[in-house]
Structure 1
Amino acid sequence: MSAELVALVQQIAKEKGLPLEEVLGAMCDGIRHAYEKQFMRNMGKQQRKRFRPRVVAVLDLENKVLKLALEKTVVENPTNPHLEISLEEARKIDPNAQIGMRVRVDLPLSEFSRSAMQLARQRMQERIREIEQRRIYELYKDRVNTVVVGQVARWDSYGNIYLTLDRAEALLPRREQVPTESFQKGERVRVYIYELRKPTGGTEPIILVSRTHKELLRKLLEAEVPEIREGVVEIKALVRDPGYRSKVAVASKDPSVDPVGACVGQQSKRINNITQELRGERVDIIAWSPNEAEFVANALSPAKVETVIMNYDERTATVIVSEDQLSLAIGKQGRNVSLAARLTGWRIDIRTINQLGTEVEETVTEEPASEEPAQVEEVAVGSPPPSGATLNSQSEEVVPVATRLEAQGSEVQESASEGEQ
């Protein structure tokens, strides 16, 4: 029987990936529970807690021997046979026993009834499950906000996906799934751990993962681009429309390093690897700029911007593009301009040169001929606002080509004056 117990303990430890000491501890807890139920049934619950027996296990792997024992304290006049032993009886076990010492009294399993052993087995399984849950939590508590690889295991009726991780199971909620993605059972997929919930009431810890989280893209970039990982290139802002398109604003701390080129890689290899991992999601790498007008213009990439007019009071950017760049600037279903607005934090209004010219013409013909045209400050992309400029509701920052629009307005004024004559 002893050899069988040793084999059982070793098997459980191997299958569960637990130390032998913890498995033995669970076994002792099970035996103690069975002992209380069988030999201390006449005591009340509170008494059993107060006089809880001390069950210990001694494992000799070399000889494949496992002994269970009760630890009892040596006293002159024992009052609790489950915790105490007389000096006379103690010296039969250990001739050197003294008052106050503890001795171990063998606890043969043959003394337990079948029902008591079933209770011991159940209690041991519960303890091992609790140990597993605690170890999983300890293993993953420091892996929150990291990317892991999981294997698709199953789906539930709500569309949630369960992934097998290292000694654990992760939950990919439906709301964290990319609508354009589908998976097969057994498929390996990278996910971002965004939350770990502690086990409560015997439940396992819940590892919540995501495929839509923007930090997934950040971690993929860090893994793929050494310059980001080493801190030479910094990700200043990042937004996603999961499954469709993302925009990442980057800046370099080293003037000799091109941040966009570093992220894209030679022949676009680095960014293509990330796009492949995101299953076709297009990733735009944008050059960040402290000049907000320039940043807005860059954010609308791949469209080429002619002019950006910044209204700081309303935090609105009016962007002027040529006719052939309009659809590119807006993007399919408005994704490009929407992502650019989220990336920069500015409300973006896109106009073509012809559209703005029409608005200028209408404005001029409606104004009295005696009124002079409004003054407009011009600021080139990449330069700070002119000295003395005040950023109020009347003040706007204009990026190139506004001169063309102003000239167009002047021509309309001249035409209007000639018509009156």
Structure 2
Amino acid sequence: MHADLVALVQQIAKEKELPLEEVLGAMCDGIRLAYEKQFMRDAGRHQRRRMRPRIVAILDLDARVLKLALEKTVVETPHNPHTEISLEEARKVHPDANIGDKVRVDLPLSEFTRSAMQLARQAMMERIRKVEQRRVYEAFKDKVGTIVTAQVLRKDSYGNLYLSLGKGEALLPRREQVPTENLQKGEQVKVYVYEVREPTGSTEPIVRVSRTHKELLRKLLELHVPEIAKGEVEIKGLVRDPGYRSKVAVAAKDPSIDPVGACIGPQGKRINAIMQELRNERVDIIAWSEDEVEFLIHSLSPARPSVVIMNFDERTATVVVSEDQLSLAIGRQGRNVSLAARLTGWRIDIRTPERLGRLIVPETQSETAIPQPPPQAVAVDEPRVEEAKEGVTSPPLTGAMTVSVPAQAPALAPASEPSEVSGVNESAPSEEQGR
């Protein structure tokens, strides 16, 4: 057979990193379908299955020859010309043939029509896809829940990205892409593997990855912070607004370890490396506390609340901040207070003393006496979210409680607050407001 076909088989085997035998087997499957379409078109489906021919490929790399043949059984009276051959006909090809022997009869490709060969090619490539997908499945089925490095290959008309994993491809659906990112062909990115599907032969990759999943940030923290990887520092809660901002609540099992400082790293190197992986998404590292009041105050970092009024029955909190802290507390498009609400599981209203409209009630006053904000008051209400902070138990309190926050109360655990590193420059509230 023509040397070009030999070269094609070798090329496919090399590109797909498959054994030659696998490619030849796929070719034989395709040729068999083409044979059935062209020479067995009058037979029904059940007849085709019962009379299915066996096609074999013989490859001689030295001579650069590839031959296809029909394998038939020698019988006295053939009933199926596609799988059986008479002794007389068999001995024309193989003089030593006997009844019951298997003989091979040459099958020239020149006998096939163009449409039959097109079908053969489609069937061949489908089988090769299944082999590839099976290999990728075996390699990645145990990597669900991990991060991998991938290279951008192309984008389809729906905005989905196809990524190279080395020996296979992954799909980064549009809904799993960060809105602020514009990944280009050839770029390398870390992605979170959230699904590996069973192979079906479909043209779509079976590995599905994400850049927006909150677990991507968790895995990056484990990768860059040894104390988290070793279990010395625990991530108590994590929320993301992908591409814009995230908040992570951490606690140390050993009181001698500073959990926030461990995550930030010397000169902010650890957290900066994580933010670079997330294309400059701002990451706030928050000191978790069993005290819900303290934790809520920390969650609003870098803002410094003056007074917090908490209703433990309804899990709502009114936070009073000075005018210069308002933009920091709310954040651009309400992101800071939104993430704080999701992290703590509390609905948070931000107020300034002027907008509160009246004096804060004493701590001893009942819940029903909590002053209601006037109609013109600006509030940022965020719904409770299921992914609220993990493992926090409400204290056995009822009604409302008013807490006055000391002026120097820290929003982050370390004494030296790297506010730029955690994602916000406290000295520039106008910048936060304009983000």
Shared fold per TM-score greater than 0.5: yes
Contact 1:233 1:253 in 2 (8 A): yes
SS at match of 1:302: coil
* Structure 2 Cα separation of the partners of residues 38 and 326 of structure 1: 77
**Number of the residue aligned with 1:59:** 59
Q: What is the 5 A alignment of 1:253-402?
A: 253-321=253-321, 324-351=324-351, 358-360=358-360, 374=365, 390-392=396-398, 394=399, 396=401, 398=403
Deviations 1:258-292 (A, max 9, x none): 22122111100011112222222210011222322
* Structure 2 Cα separation of the partners of residues 37 and 357 of structure 1: 84
* Structure 2 Cα separation of the partners of residues 218 and 306 of structure 1: 32
* Shift in alpha-carbon separation, 1:59–1:313, aligned structure 2, 3 A: same
TM-score, normalised to structure 1's length? 0.74
TM-score, normalised to structure 2's length? 0.71
Contact 2:34 2:119 in 1 (8 A): no
Aligned CA RMSD, in angstroms, stands at 4.0
Q: CA deviation at 1:165?
A: 1.4
Q: CA deviation at 1:73?
A: 3.6
* Structure 1 Cα separation of the partners of residues 350 and 37 of structure 2: 79
Query: Which range is displaced more, 300-309 or 197-206?
Result: 197-206
**Number of the residue aligned with 2:415:** none
SS at match of 1:82: coil
Q: Does 1:238 align with 2:244?
A: no
* Structure 2 Cα separation of the partners of residues 297 and 94 of structure 1: 94
Contact 1:293 1:397 in 2 (8 A): no
Contact 2:72 2:105 in 1 (8 A): no
* Structure 1 Cα separation of the partners of residues 71 and 340 of structure 2: 71
Q: CA deviation at 1:162?
A: 2.8
Contact 1:148 1:191 in 2 (8 A): yes
Query: Which range is displaced more, 197-206 or 313-322?
Result: 197-206
* Shift in alpha-carbon separation, 1:76–1:288, aligned structure 2, 3 A: farther
* Structure 2 Cα separation of the partners of residues 198 and 205 of structure 1: 10
SS at match of 1:317: strand
**Number of the residue aligned with 1:165:** 164
* Shift in alpha-carbon separation, 1:105–1:329, aligned structure 2, 3 A: same
* Structure 2 Cα separation of the partners of residues 113 and 148 of structure 1: 49
**Number of the residue aligned with 1:7:** 7
Query: Which range is displaced more, 312-321 or 240-249?
Result: 312-321
Q: CA deviation at 1:67?
A: 4.0
Q: Which has the higher helix share?
A: 1
SS at match of 2:286: strand
Aligned residues: 378
* Structure 2 Cα separation of the partners of residues 61 and 286 of structure 1: 65
Gaps of 5+ in 2: 368-391, 408-435
**Number of the residue aligned with 1:136:** 133
**Match 1:120 to one of 117, 120, 124:** 117
**Rg bigger for which structure?**
1
* Shift in alpha-carbon separation, 1:334–1:43, aligned structure 2, 3 A: closer
**Number of the residue aligned with 2:378:** none
Q: CA deviation at 1:301?
A: 1.6
Query: Which amino acid counterpart does residue 165 of structure 1 have in structure 2?
Result: S
Greater RCO (Cα-Cα under 8 Å, separation 6 or more): 2
* Structure 2 Cα separation of the partners of residues 345 and 334 of structure 1: 16
Contact 1:305 1:319 in 2 (8 A): yes
Deviations 1:72-116 (A, max 9, x none): 3454543223223456776884959674xx513232426x42516
SS at match of 2:113: helix
* Structure 1 Cα separation of the partners of residues 355 and 113 of structure 2: 88
State the percentage of identical aligned residues: 63
* Shift in alpha-carbon separation, 1:95–1:307, aligned structure 2, 3 A: farther
SS at match of 1:124: helix
Q: CA deviation at 1:225?
A: 2.0
Q: CA deviation at 1:337?
A: 1.5
Q: CA deviation at 1:22?
A: 1.8
**Number of the residue aligned with 1:369:** none
Deviations 1:164-184 (A, max 9, x none): 413655554444443333344
